[in-house]
Amino acid sequence: MNKSPILDHKFYDQPSVFQPENLLREARRQKEITELVIPDVCILDPDGDIEEYVIQKHHAKLNKAWACYHTKLFEFEHEGQKIGIIGRAVGASFAVLLAEQLFASGCKLLLSMTSSGQLVQPMEPPYFILIEKSVRDEGTSYHYLASSQFSFLNTDLKEKLENAFNNPAIKIFTGSTWTTDAPYRETAESINHYKSIGIHAVEMEASALYAFAQARNKNVICFAHVTNQMASVEGDFEKGEHNGSKDALQVLFATIDTFSTKTHTP
């Protein structure tokens, strides 16, 4: 028996009875959805600002093949490639629920761009972190992988991104985050602990998405858009022009361009 009951009875080598493909089958039947194609590349946008921006500026339209009960998938183009985006996918459990359904629907590469609170201060926010590892301080990841301190970005994906962000206008570095599912329980003691081990920022999705990716052998890349110091200073949460959407899209498009030969269907 584990000290934490939540870790008991996790049969990692056994399949789930409840499969996303079966849920989507019934959703398509109920909604009379006959279209089956979603973009190869999709974005999770917890804040929803990027989604709103691409609707206004990139003429994003609803994807009629998306059969999710909880969300809408918008579709837009970049360099002739279709990209899907779901806004307001906040928190580890919701992000992974959507990731399961996106890959079951045909997604090949999933990017997450989440707002994040600064811990260690390498520069003034806003800036971006390519998350290479994240502390598993949420519950969802423990349904996919046995207990460990961190979840990790796939090594092959990390290597392919080594030269993706050469544009000096993009403020980005590779670093680590603390994923929590209780943002209003970020105590001074816990913050100081994660600072002491070199964790750069705190967010709510990455460790679970990376655990899902490892367990399911899927391509997931998570970014933190460091925009705040957890409202501990006046004038916090300023993301930049268009709520940071233009800068975030620079990061996302640079990533997509790096993988376009692998993910784009002519």
Can you give the pLDDT at residue 124?
86
The answer to whether 157 and 112 have CB atoms below 8 angstroms apart is no
Helix (H, G, I), strand (E, B) or coil at 98: helix
What phi and psi, each to the nearest 5 degrees, are found at residue 113? -125, 100
Respond yes or no on whether the N-terminal peptide bond of residue 126 is cis (omega within 30° of 0): yes
- Pull the structure tokens for residue 266: 């002519």
- CATH tag for 34-259 (out of 2.60.40.10, 3.40.50.1580, 1.10.150.120, 2.60.15.10): 3.40.50.1580
**Token couple for 61:** 């339209």
The pLDDT assigned to 241 comes to: 61
User: What's the token pair of residue 144?
Assistant: 């996919």
Domain ranges for the chain: 34-259
Confidence (pLDDT) at 264 = 41
- The number of angstroms, rounded, from the C-alpha of 183 to the middle of its chain's C-alpha atoms is 17
pTM value is: 0.93
What does each of the 266 residues of the chain score in pLDDT, given as a tens digit? 557 888 999 999 999 999 999 999 999 999 999 988 999 999 999 999 999 999 999 999 999 999 999 999 999 999 999 999 999 999 999 999 999 999 999 999 999 999 999 999 888 889 999 999 999 999 999 999 999 999 999 999 999 999 999 999 899 999 999 999 999 999 999 999 999 999 999 999 999 999 999 999 999 999 999 987 654 555 545 565 657 899 999 999 999 999 985 444 43
